[in-house]
Amino acid sequence: MKVFIDTAPFIYLIEKNERYADKIKKYLTTLFINNNQIITSVITYSEFGVAPIREQKPELINEFEAFLHKTDISLIEIKKAHAFKASELRAKYLFLKGMDSLQIGTAIEENCDVFVSNDFKLKSIKEIDVLLLDKDL
């Protein structure tokens, strides 16, 4: 199985969110044990860095980078096909914002089976199975 992890689960994990950190850690562990392929995109990297930069906590970015490297999670660059799929999704789902559509478009174009997030509105997307931390994991 190929799994795309959205930004929020990484934030919860690295910042040790008391409600979600253990849940995402267990889920990722299961994925690794079962040799699933895990990817995310440079959008995740960009979104992850906002709060640590604003709050002057570069150690969180370093921890995130180390985690990606240690776990061999693929950080996908955005390509023209990803952007076009994002456009199609935004045309179909009017609630979608640009970054969300790029994330999901990338997951679809990279042939992911699952998109893991905690954004409830994304559950209505039909082109990929969206798993929510609060509801599905």
The tens digit of pLDDT for each residue in 55-101 reads 999 999 999 999 999 998 999 999 999 999 999 999 999 999 999 99
The answer to whether position 32 is within a domain reads yes
Question: Considering the chain, what is the average pLDDT of its residues?
Answer: 95
Q: How many CB atoms are closer than 10 A to CB 5?
A: 26
5 close to 73: Cβ distance less than 8 angstroms: yes
The answer to whether position 137 is within a domain reads no
| pTM attached to this predicted model | 0.94
- Among 83, 92, 78, smallest CA distance to 125 is for 92
State the total domains in the chain.
1
The answer to whether position 48 is within a domain reads yes
Q: What is the CATH number of the domain that holds 73?
A: 3.40.50.1010
The answer to whether position 103 is within a domain reads yes
Domain that holds residue 22: 2-132
